[in-house]
Structure 1
Amino acid sequence: MAHTIRRLYSSIPIPSSPSAPSIASQFFAKAHSQPPSTQSQLLDANQLQRLSATLSRTQLSRSLPENGTPLPPCYHLAYFTPSQVEEELGRDGTDTTFNPPRPFTRRMWAGGELEWPVPGKGVLGLRVGQQVTETTKLVSAVGKRTGAGEEMVVVGVEKEYNNSEGVALIDRRNWIFRPEITEPQAPAARPAEVPLPSGPHTRDFTQTPVSLFRFSALTFNAHKIHYDRAWCREVEGHRDLVVHGPLNLINIVDFWRDVRGGNASPKKITYRATRPLYAGERYRIVMGDEKDGVTEARIVDCYGGVGMLGRIESF
C-alpha cells in the first residue's frame, strides 16, 4: 500500500483570540494550496468477510469471497483506513490528517453524499481483488455556530476512487470540529422511552460494545467515543458508547438493498447525522417506498430522536 499523507494544520498560526471563521479561513487557504493526498490498496477478501460478519450479513461472511465479488455499496468505508502512528492521533484518539488547528479538534461525522458512475460507461464498481487508488482533497472549511451559540468548524473532503476502468465512486464527507474539552462534561440524562415509529419498511437495531469494537477495528478508528465508556461518560458527557456514523449509513443502505433486492445499486446517497445514537439503546430505521426513483429513510431512537436522515436515488 502506498501512502501520501500530510498533517495539514501544523504550520498554521493560531490567533491570540481564535474564532471559528478565522481559523477555518486560514486552514482552508493552507490546505487548499497543497496537492491532494493519495493511497492505493488491494481490495482484499478478508476485510469484506470480516465486515460482513460484523454486520451479520451471512451471505458474504460464511466463506472467503472470491476475486471479482462486488463490494456492496458503502463497504469501501472499511478500506483505505488512516495510517497515523499513535503519537500523531488527537487526544480523543482521532486521526488528525484533516483537523483544523486548536481549539477546534473534537471531531464528529456530520454527513455527506456518495455518487456512482452511470452504468454502461465501461466503469465497473469496486470489486474484491482490484487495486484501487483513493484521492482525497479538502473542498471546504467554514466557521459556524451551533443553535446553542457554540463555535465550530465544518470541514468537507472529497474522495475519488479509481480502479483500472476509471472513477468507480466519489465520496464527499463533512466533519464537524468543536472546541476541545478543557473541563469534563457531566453525562447527559437518559430521556423517557417512547414507542418506536412505524413506517412502510422498518428494521430495528441495538448495538453492543462488541459490534462497535469490531467496526472500529475494521476501520482502524481509534476515536475513544466508540470504545472507551469512561471517556464517553467522564470527559465528553455522553451517556454511553457512541454508534459510528458510517456504521449507521451502511445499515441504512443494506436495508434499502434488501427491500429493493440484494443486487440493487444506488446512483446517489445523501445523508446527515443529526444526533448521537448509543450502544445498548434501541433504534429503528424507518424507510419509505420509492417515489420517482428516490427513497427516504431516517433512524429514530427509542426516545423519539432522529439520529440520521438518508436519501437514496436509484438508477
Structure 2
Amino acid sequence: MSTSRRQLYSTLPPSSASAVASQFLSKTQKLPPPRQTQLLDANQLQRFSATLSRSELSQSLPGNCTPLPAGYHLAYFTPSQIENDLGRDGTDTTFNPPSPFTRRMWAGGQLEWIKQAPDGLRIGQHVTETTKLVSAEGKKTRAGEEMVVVGVEKEYENEQGLVLIDRRNWIFRPEIKEPQAPASRPAEVPFPDGRHVRDFIQTPVTLFRFSALTFNAHKIHYSKEWCREVEGHRDIVVHGPLNLINILNFWRDIKGVDLFPKKITYRATSPLYGGEKYRLILDEEKDKITEARIVDSYGKTGMVGQIESSE
C-alpha cells in the first residue's frame, strides 16, 4: 500500500465519504470491466420512439440498418439485476458504493460519437458495451452532507470498432433513515425566452413507459408515495436521461433529424417533476457549440448542456 493511501486511511473515519470512495474505487477497479453484447432490435426502437412521441420511427417497424438516433442507445443494455439485488429505492446496484452511500441520483455526463453514419449504431447490429468505473470521490453538498460521486465510462463497439463513449456521473447520498417532509410548490414565474424553445409536461404515462423501456426501477420516477413520504419530493421526478434525449431530439429537429453531434456534455442541477411545465431552450450555434438549458416554471434550472456539432 502506498504511503499516501496509508495516510488516507489513518486520517479519515472508516465511514467518511472519502474513505468509502477510495476503498470502493480500489476494489472495483481490480475486477474485469463488465461486457455485454446485444442485438439492436427494431421493436425496442419503435416503442422507445412512441414513448418520446417521435412519429418518424413509431408509426411502423423500423427496418434493418436504420440509424439509432442520438441518445437512443439508452433503450438498450439495460440493467438485469433481480429485484432482491436492487437498492431500497429500486436502483441498480452494480456500481453502488457501500452503505451508507446508497441513494443514487443521475448527476450528468458526456456522450461522444466516435463514428458517424454510416458507421454508427444501426438496427440489426450486434453491439458490445464495456463499462468501466473511472472515478469515485468523496464530496460534500452545500448543506454539508457527505456524498460519493461516481464516474463510469461505457464504450460501444460494432463491426466498425468503437462508435460511442457514454460517460456518466452519479451522486450517492446516505440512505434516508427518517422520512422527509414533501417540498411545497413554489410560486410560478414567467419562462425566459430564447432563440429556440420547446415546452414539456411529462405525464405519469410517459415516465412509466420510459422507466419500463430502460428497465429502470428507481422509485422516484413512478411511486408518488415514495417521493412524497420518503424522499421529500413534491411529485414523481422526470428522468435525467429523458431530458438528455429531449435536448438531442430538439437539436436534431433544428439541425436535421439525420444528423449526429460530435459531443454533448450535460449536468442535472435541480429536479423536474411530472405534471409540471418546463421549458427547453437552445441558443444559436456559435463556433459549432450550442448551449442548452432546461428551466422549470418556478425559476429553477433543471439541466444545462453544451452540444458540439460535427460539421
SS at match of 1:272: strand
Is 1:47 matched with 2:44? Answer: yes
* Aligned-CA RMSD value: 1.1
Q: Tell me what 2:139 maps to.
A: 144
Percent of aligned pairs with the same amino acid: 73
Q: Does 1:231 align with 2:232?
A: no
Q: Secondary structure at the residue paired with 1:299?
A: strand
Of 126, 131, 134, which residue of structure 2 is paired with 1:131? Answer: 126
2:255 to 253, 260, 265: 260
Match of 2:7 in 1: none
The answer to whether residue 28 in structure 2 is matched with residue 31 in structure 1 is yes
Task: Give how far 1:231 is off.
Answer: 0.3
CA distance, structure 2, for counterparts of residue 184 and residue 198 of structure 1: 38
In the TM superposition, what is the alpha-carbon distance from 1:264 to its structure 2 partner? 1.7
Written as runs of structure 1 = structure 2, the 5 A alignment for 1:56-71 is 56-71=53-68
Which of 184, 206, 211 aligns to 2:201? It is 206
Residue matched to 1:278 = 273
State the shift of 1:180 in Å.
Answer: 0.1
Aligned to 1:299: 294
Equivalent residue of 1:212, what SS? helix
Structure 2 SS opposite 1:46: helix
Aligned residues: 299
SS in 1 for 2:67: coil
| Structure-2 separation of matches of 1:39 and 1:215 | 22
TM-score normalized by the length of structure 1? 0.93
Q: 1:185 aligns with which of 176, 180, 189?
A: 180
Letter in 1 for 2:44: Q
Letter in 1 for 2:99: R
SS in 1 for 2:306: strand
Gaps of 5+ in 1: 1-14
Aligned residue identity for 1:274: T
Alignment of structure 1 residues 159-178 onto 2, 5 Å: 159-178=154-173
The one-character-per-residue Cα deviations of 1:55-101 (angstroms, maximum 9, x if unpaired) are 00001000000000000000001100000000000000000000000
Query: How far apart in 1 are the matches of 2:254 and 2:85?
Result: 42
Q: Deviations over 1:209-258 (max 9, x none)?
A: 10000000000000000000000000000000000000000000000000
Distance 1:79 1:249 in 2: 16
Task: Check if 1:98 corresponds to 2:91.
Answer: no
Tell me the residue number matched to 1:12.
none
- Indicate yes or no: 2:92 matched with 1:78: no
Partner of 1:111: 108
CA distance in 2, matches of 1:172, 1:139: 9
CA distance in 1 between partners of 2:29 and 2:260 (Å): 33
